[in-house]
Structure 1
Amino acid sequence: MFILSHAVEINPPGASIALTVGQVWAGLVLKAEDALPFVPAMRRCDLLERGAGCLRRAISFGDQDFEEQVTFYAPRLVRFDRVGSDDFILNIISDSAVGLLLSFTFAISFPGVADGSEEEHARGEAMREAYVGAVAATLAKVRELASHGEI
């Protein structure tokens, strides 16, 4: 399983608006419900069912289709588990010496590829840009929504 984590400052110097934990949390919930405005590379995000503190959705990312179980641990953590696999994604809002951080961790396996192999590493690294870009795109959308008073 390939694991990648990436964190960015939520309110870096020069940010047009300082976001609160509550605003970022609201954005993460909206992203879980409909990721299309937050993740440009995603082609489809359909809400299948909603439960207490969770939801299930169907997504299309690139040329692949998945179902995900999304669990909310308010107000700081959202966990996306791909149905039928051990793959998962975490979105975490945390405090740090530089202020609030938004961290994304993804753990993904590649069928037919040996764990720890060069091929696994190469495939994981090829996905890095999309996942790192999703962090920036998510914060940009949250900032836009906050600037319009929508969250």
Structure 2
Amino acid sequence: MRIVVQRASKGRVLVDEQVTGEIGRGFVLLVGVTHEDTEKDADYLAEKIMGLRIFEDAGGKMNLSLLDVEGAILSVSQFTLYGDCRKGRRPNFMEAARPEQANRLYEYFNEKLRSLGARVETGVFGAMMDVELVNDGPVTLLLDSKKNF
């Protein structure tokens, strides 16, 4: 799994001009799933994200977690994180998991985050979405379960 973690002061997702998920302070996550990913990958990344200390404390140091600041998560499925642009000019998405596998693991990941104490809002899997966010910092991190095990 690949996840782009963006520290945000606010974010929301619209589908057909209707808000499907909205948060204030927290994380906007772009979540990609590949063929070999399992629940172990989702568990690892959910626990990593919930433990990330990337919010500033009173001294201005990144020392606080999402739970410490009572933040929320906006989780958005993003198969294009597995786009391969090495050849030609049009990305190849062969490394992205098939929709049924990706959706199952994406939903599992969101439930894992909830079980760890996060309030999780989402987009709509497979839909054309407008994702809005105000990146706080900016702070953006790329997590990949295959590179971190």
Please tell me the TM-score bracket, short chain as reference: 0.3 to 0.5
Q: TM-score, normalised by structure 2?
A: 0.32
Q: TM-score, normalised by structure 1?
A: 0.32
